[in-house]
Chain A
Amino acid sequence: DAMVIQNPRYQVTQFGKPVTLSCSQTLNHNVMYWYQQKSSQAPKLLFHYYDKDFNNEADTPDNFQSRRPNTSFCFLDIRSPGLGDAAMYLCATSGTGSSGANVLTFGAGSRLTVL
């Protein structure tokens, strides 16, 4: 089945120790998103790619970086995680960046714990 796959599902790291979260998709969607979601809060958009065109949200901290080496893969790097970065990180894709029903398909998420 076509899908969005995130790894790892659960990541525990120490304060300041870098982590990389990965996302792959078999939907052949050209738009990929990284969201951060904390408990009982709205998902917060960190980055999105339209094909290889990178879009950084204005309030995304420099501590967060992203890479999209090809259409199918996307990575989220957190260079020096702090306690406030503990959250669920959601990868999503969509088939188009600018029309009608821009439905997002989400991966299962990567839950980050910072000790």
Chain B
Amino acid sequence: GQNIDQPTEMTATEGAIVQINCTYQTSGFNGLFWYQQHAGEAPTFLSYNVLDGLEEKGRFSSFLSRSKGYSYLLLKELQMKDSASYLCAAMDSNYQLIWGAGTKLIIKP
């Protein structure tokens, strides 16, 4: 079956760095997405990886290893507003998204 695994919850300190891991198993692969979702709000797009390696976008970076079925989202210089859930989603061979349940990130002062 198709599956996404990511930690349920993580805690980090303001100003620090945090890495949120995601492993996936899909029938075929057409890319890996990260979305941010604040409580009670809709998800917003953060990043997309389809080739191996690191994509950097400001304070946020996303990494993909297709051979390992693994991705991570790296958040630097954490701010209180980064407290949110981070959803990992992989696109299968039919271009359908398989979603993880999200990682709730708690930022402490």
- Report A's interface with B, CB cutoff 8 A: 40-43, 45, 88, 90, 97-109, 111
> Are B31 and A108 within 8 A (Cβ)?
no
Q: Quick check: is B20 within 8 A (CB to CB) of the other chain?
A: no
Minimum CB–CB distance from B99 to chain A (whole Å) comes to 4
Give how many A-B residue pairs fall within 8 Å (CB-CB): 51
Q: How many B residues touch the partner, as a band?
A: 20 to 34
Q: Which of B8, B31, B87, B102 contacts A100 (CB 8 A)?
A: B31
B17-49 vs A, CB cutoff 8 Å, 1 = contact: the mask equals 000000000000011010100001111110010
Listed by A's residue number, 14 A-B pairs whose Cβ atoms lie within 8 Å are A42-B101, A42-B102, A43-B99, A45-B96, A90-B42, A101-B31, A102-B30, A102-B31, A104-B35, A105-B45, A106-B42, A106-B44, A109-B41, A109-B42
Q: Output the residue of A41, A97, A106, A111 with the most chain B CB within 10 A.
A: A106
Minimum distance in angstroms from A23 CB to a CB of chain B: 11
Chain B CB within 10 A, most for which of A42, A88, A106 = A42
Does B50 reach chain A (CB closer than 8 Å)?
A: yes
> For the complex, what is the distance from the CA of A19 to the CA of B17, rounded to whole Å?
44
Task: Assess whether A40 is in contact with B101, with CB atoms less than 8 Å apart.
Answer: yes
Contact present for A107 and B42 (CB under 8 Å): yes
Please, how many angstroms separate the alpha-carbon atoms of A41 and B100 in the complex?
Answer: 8
Q: Given the complex of chains A and B, what is the CA–CA distance between A42 and B30 in angstroms? A: 19
* B97 neighbours in A (Cβ, 8 Å): 45, 102, 104
Q: Which residue in A42, A90, A99 is a CB contact (below 8 Å) of B4?
A: A42
| B91 interfacial by beta-carbon distance below 8 Å | yes
